[in-house]
Every structure is written in C-alpha cells, then in structure tokens.
Amino acid sequence: MGKNKGNYKRIILQEGFSVLSLALFSFIILEWLWPNSVLGYLNLNLLLLIWLAIGILLLVMNKKNK
C-alpha cells in the first residue's frame, strides 16, 4: 500500500515535471512573440521555481529508490 502511494506520487511528479517543462517552454516562446501575453497574467518566476522544486524532488526520490 505504502509502496503504491509512493509510486503514485512519483508518477504525478514525473508527469507534472514533463508537462511543466513543455508549458514553461511554450509560455516563454509566447512571451517572446507577444510581450506581456503571459507575464501580464502569470508570474513565470513562480512557475520556474515550482518546476525546479519538482525536479529536485524527483532527483531525491530517484536516488532513494536506487
């Protein structure tokens, strides 16, 4: 049960990280093409921090699993 829970977490974080990477990339492109189109509504710094935190968490989890 505990192992399954940990597995779910890892899947969610892994998928979240992938889609967040894609989102960050697309938002930066959008902001580059049309300034203020993203930054006018969303703080990309915050999104970048979340992305970084998830990435570090995934690295830590992978290391523990090994």
Partner 1 sequence: MFCLLLSVIYNITMKKGLIFKVRLVFIIIWLLALGFFLFKTIVPNGSIVYKTNFSKEHRFIGSLTPVERVEKMDQGRKITGDPVYFSLYYPRHFEEAELKIKYKWLNDDKQIFSVGMLADNRLWQYYLQPMENTVIEDLLSDWHVTQENDTYFLQKEKQFNSQAEFLNSDFNKSELALYNLTSQEIGLTDYVLPVEQKEQIIPLTLETALRGHHQFFVYHSKGDLKIDLRIQDLNQNGDYDPVDLILYFQDKIILNSFLEDDNNNTDDGRVSSIRDLNLQASNLPEGLYKVEIRVNDDIVIKELKSSSNYLIFTNGIRLAPGASNVTIYTNRDYLRATTVNPGSIQEVKFGGEVLGLTKTYRQHYWVLEDKVPVWNKVVLDKTGIMLSNDGLFTFNQSTAFDPEVTQLGIETDMENINYIIARYQSIRREGDWNIAQANFDLYRAYYKDNKYNFMLSIPGLSHRSEAGLIIDSIEVELKGKGLWEKIKETIKE
Residue from 1, 3, 5, 40 touching partner 1 (CB under 8 A): that is: 40
H or E stretch at 43: none
Helix (H, G, I), strand (E, B) or coil at 55: helix
Provide, rounded to whole angstroms, the least separation between the CB of residue 63 and partner 1: 21
What is the DSSP secondary structure assignment for residue 57, as one 8-state letter? H
41 near partner 1, judged by CB under 8 A: yes
Residue from 1, 2, 5, 36 touching partner 1 (CB under 8 A): that is: 36
User: DSSP string of 9-41?
Assistant: HHHHHHHHHHHHHHHHHHHHHHHHHSTTTTTTT
Give the residues lining the site for partner 1 (CB under 8 A).
8, 11-12, 15-16, 18-20, 22-23, 26-27, 30, 34-42
